[in-house]
Amino acid sequence: MKKFPWLHILLFLLTFISTLAVGVEHAGVGLLSIVDHPGNILKGFPFSITLLVILLSHEFSHYFFSRHHHVEATLPYFIPAPTLFGTLGAFIKMKSPITTKNALMDIGASGPIAGFILSVIACVIGLSLSRVMPVVKEPGLMIFGDSLLFTALSKLILGVIPDNQDIVLHPIAFAGWIGFFVTSMNLLPIGQLDGGHISYALLGQRHHLLSKILIIVLVLLGVLVFEGWIVWAILLIILGIKHPPILEPYIPLDEGRKAAGLLSLVIFVLTFIPVPITIL
């Protein structure tokens, strides 16, 4: 008899609360205003719900394909955190070995592709609701970097932004931006990230050499453009950059799974942000 997933539900509810708080702040009403005007809490819902739906689609795609390939996996564990985003994401744990490269590709690629699709929808809706306003660049101002796709969508929906103006993101667009960021981070072909699963399915044991090279690249990016990449590189080293073997490595990838791997690479290029955040 399976236990009721109390921990999963509790973590999800805590993440809902933490992202709701971020949504209220991003809406510009402030958490303290809720004391006098409880209805202000509703202004945090667009950001919170959008971001949670993106994360849920990502993790449950992993879960569905794990079950489809008879790989024992947990329900998603959400990570609430008092951060800029209100969460550190979510993950599932696989408790049994993966049998074939095809199964590994399905499990690894499904999450980023699903999250990416919903992030695109969120960005299109959110950018159409966003405003272009003059911005005074004062010390302490936080500026979010743009991926290739987010830049293209911004120009398509809002036009070319003058140098003295910037986009004030609607909460739904902000959640979509985070969705792109999370997708690209997960698609790094290192260790047991989603991109690591994909690259191992494509490259086999050569995946370990690629992981080593990309750790060095992340450190260099951290030195040259954004210090956060050094932190991410250290965390990945701690988690481990090797990928566990699959049970039947002699069964080749079929053409559809190779196409999924190529699509994942394209998504990574379109969503990667070299400098995610800059503080003047």
Distance CA 25, CA 3 (A): 37
What are 218's strand-pairing partners? none
Q: Helix 206-224 and helix 194-203: axis angle, to 10°?
A: 140
Alpha helices in the chain (DSSP H): 6-26, 33-36, 45-68, 101-128, 148-158, 171-186, 194-203, 206-224, 228-239, 255-271
In a 3-state reduction of DSSP, which class is residue 232?
A: helix
Long-range contacts of 216-220 (CB under 8 A, 24+ apart): 218/188
Distance CA 130, CA 157 (A): 10
Q: What are phi and psi of 141, to 5 degrees?
A: -65, 135
Instruction: Give the DSSP letter string of 144-211.
Output: E---HHHHHHHHHHH-PPPTTEEEE--HHHHHHHHHHHHHHHHTS-STTSHHHHHHHHHHTTHHHHHH
Residue 15: the pLDDT is 97
How long is the chain? 280
Sign of the CA dihedral running 4, 14, 63, 117: positive
Q: Whole-prediction pTM value? A: 0.93
Q: Which helix (H) or strand (E) covers residue 90, if one does?
A: strand 87-91
Classify residue 81 by burial, with Cβ atoms within 10 Å: 0-12, 13-18, 19+. Answer: middle
Residue 237: the pLDDT is 94
Q: Tell me the pLDDT of the chain (280 aa) as tens digits.
A: 568 899 999 999 999 999 999 999 888 787 777 777 788 889 999 999 999 999 999 999 999 999 999 999 999 999 999 888 999 999 999 999 999 999 999 999 999 999 999 999 999 999 999 998 887 777 777 788 999 999 999 999 999 888 778 888 999 999 999 999 999 999 999 999 999 999 999 999 899 999 999 999 999 999 999 999 999 999 999 989 999 999 999 999 999 999 999 999 999 999 999 999 888 7
Q: Helix 171-186 and helix 6-26: axis angle, to 10°?
A: 130
Distance CA 59, CA 57 (A): 6
Distance CA 134, CA 104 (A): 48
